[in-house]
Chain A
């Protein structure tokens, strides 16, 4: 076979969030960007199609999470990364600077995408306090 495909669980996750009006962000088992929906692109200030292949550090740089002093937070502080690495749900309120420079406060709920065999990725749902 010439073309590998994503795990079915990740495909189903993308199918699920595609039609949601709740912003959603999906990463694969390596933490690389897999997908985010149109609602998330509004918050993030860039369409998913414009992102290209982005590993963990690249998307975290594009959408910078900040502490209260405006300093960049480490990856481990992000709920999505915690969910992926620790294989457990994570929730937090974070401040971030979008790709268009706008700074927003958002609530993030993240869960790992698991089967009995493996971790396939993680999914985050965002809620902006501006909504």
Chain B
């Protein structure tokens, strides 16, 4: 499968001269399956650029939302296919006890927060709570599971053939305890990520920054690396970059993560850092390549 990063930033879009390398758009990842089926992971501001790149023709697009924090849905209202009557959107997301997915998204795509209402979108659109069992999208099997974050939040596992991609952009698994020693059954998301060819995972904070953000729902780099090791993933991509982290910071952040991963026995070249615009080929039989 092919993966393209349209947004790797967390919390708030962070454009500017200091973020041109890794980008300022918020979470949005395009997954193209072998038969051309298009899956989009999260609808952050990167979704706008993805929509423009899809061109003028009507498209069928499956959008898998991990949760409804603004940085993961803000692109919906600016997604060009949503305004085409020949487009078909299937939007999946977490269930919640208070309202269906449509109603919760409509809180954003409605007055006074938006000039359009969800019901006014010209495309054919359906909103579905992700089921508790696996389901098929094109040739891929998709699985969603709840993960530790603020509010109902999912991680996704997409498997086509022997290749599995796992996407957990907002995650604080360390609240369970020491990730190196606690039983795996108590680590949220671990089963979802098990053995994935590529895991895109929350890496918002440095270890120094994390103590001021405990309980915010995000990981320090130590937690990201420990989680990936426990899950036995083949490759890890650091994701959901903090808006304050400049390109220079992230270059050093990545280098340090690589060093720690390899010092702990991890394979060389297996820790990536997601960058806006980057395209990756994901195949279980080979290292992730650009």
Contacts and interface: CB of A to CB of B under 8 A. Distances in A.
Given A5-B186, A6-B186, A11 B132 contact: no
Contacts of B177: 18
Instruction: Give chain B's interface residue range (CB within 8 Å of chain A).
Output: 20 to 34
Given A1-B194, A5-B191, A11 B184 contact: no
Given A11-B148, A14-B176, A117-B132, A5 B195 contact: no
Contacts of A11: 148, 176, 186, 188
Nearest to A8: B146
B40 interface: no
B97 A3 contact: no
B271 interface: no
Given A8-B146, A8-B147, A14 B186 contact: yes
Contacts of B145: 5, 8
B187 interface: yes
B61 interface: no
Interface string A83-105: 00000000000000000000000
B185 interface: yes
B190 interface: yes
B192 interface: yes
Interface string A1-19: 1111110100110110010
A71 interface: no
Interface string B171-215: 000011100000011111111101100000000000000000000
7 contacts: A3-B194, A4-B185, A5-B189, A6-B186, A15-B176, A18-B177, A117-B132
